[in-house]
A and B are shown apart, each in its own frame.
Chain A
Amino acid sequence: MATSTVPIRTGEDVVRVRQEVRRFAIEAGLGLVDQTKIVTAASELARNTLDHGKGGQATIDLVQSGARCGVRIVFEDNGPGIPDIELALKDGYTSGKGMGLGLGGARRLCNEFAIVSEAGQGTRVTVARWK
């Protein structure tokens, strides 16, 4: 299955990211609960890319490690960046219109979570969920 890149410019694109991640999660053989978790995490992160990163893209991949299969998503934007990542990961922290669960909540729903951000340069969040 080829890598899929979804631009994130509008609210409809967030829905498109969800649909693509679902397709990959099924292909990776994830169970229904794991599918739901990674799709929900992707939805939170795509919304962050849209609202805080001023738009960007999601790149979705199937990944293999030994016998394990999984799905990995990289969210990238060229927005203002996150000045304090530790603070942004705390529940209840919000600078936008969500419930302040986006980043921390998304991290709990993934097996792997990495975030790189630089002020004025943008943010890259990489997540993965394994079967």
Chain B
Amino acid sequence: MDRIPILKLGEALLVTIQVDMHDRLAMALEEDLTTQIVQHTAKGVLIDISALEIVDSFIGRTLANIAMIAKVLDADTVVVGMRPAVAITLVELGLSLPGVRTALNAERGMAMIRNRIERADLNLRDEEEGGH
């Protein structure tokens, strides 16, 4: 069965969706990402959808689910690269992608994740110092 590859980039996971997503592929991605977030103690998930020609409610739900699962596992999800025509259509369809953060491109999305990791590290250090 086809699978969407997941790359590890520091404390983040990078997913580039380059194929037309059907049901089983979406479900496999959910599972694989969940496993790898735990395995690599990833703090962020970057999903590049610049190759997607449409996002329907099924794909939207998949993205929202991934974001929710990642949140429970203490990782942030940022969806990047949405095409303008896809954005217009999403709004008209009424899809709001609850819990999904977005950035215009992979660079900005990665910066969002890095910021979050740095902030988390700082908080952790503060707490440790406070404890002494």
Contact = CB atoms under 8 A, between A and B. Distances in A.
Q: Do A and B come from one complex?
A: yes
Interface of A: 11-12, 14-15, 18-19, 22, 32-33, 35-37, 39-40, 43-44, 47, 91, 97-102, 104-106, 108-109
Given A11-B22, A37-B89, A22 B57 contact: no
Interface residues of B, number: 23
Interface string B105-123: 0000000000000000000
6 contacts: A11-B22, A14-B22, A15-B22, A39-B54, A43-B58, A44-B57
Contact of B58 (A36, A98, A106): A98
A104 B94 CA distance: 9
Contacts of A91: 94
Task: Give the residue among A14, A44, A47, A105 with the most B Cβ atoms within 10 A.
Answer: A105
Chain B interface SS verdict (over half): helix
Task: Give the residue among B22, B56, B93, B94 with the most A Cβ atoms within 10 A.
Answer: B56
Contacts of B54: 18, 36, 39-40, 43
Interface of B: 20, 22-24, 53-58, 60-61, 64, 83-86, 88-89, 92-95
Given A33-B85, A97-B61, 19 more contacts: A18-B54, A22-B53, A33-B89, A36-B53, A36-B86, A37-B89, A43-B54, A43-B58, A44-B57, A47-B56, A98-B57, A98-B61, A99-B61, A99-B95, A101-B93, A105-B57, A105-B93, A109-B92, A109-B93
